[in-house]
Amino acid sequence: MSEREGRIEDWWPRLSIEGKHAILADPDAPLGDGVRAEIVELTGRAAPERLDRSDVDYVTTQIESVD
C-alpha–C-alpha distance, residues 14 and 61, integer Å: 16
- Is residue 37 within 8 Å of 19, Cβ to Cβ? no
Please check the confidence at residue 49 and state whether its pLDDT lies above 80. yes
Q: What's the burial of 38, exposed, middle or buried (CB within 10 Å: 0-12/13-18/19+)?
A: buried
| pTM, full prediction | 0.86
The answer, yes or no, to whether residue 3 has pLDDT greater than 70, is: no
Q: According to the model, what pLDDT value does residue 66 have? A: 47
Q: pLDDT, tens digit, for every residue of 12-48?
A: 999 999 999 999 999 999 999 999 999 999 999 999 9
Alpha helices (runs of H) in the chain, residue ranges in sequence order = 8-11, 17-25, 33-43, 53-63
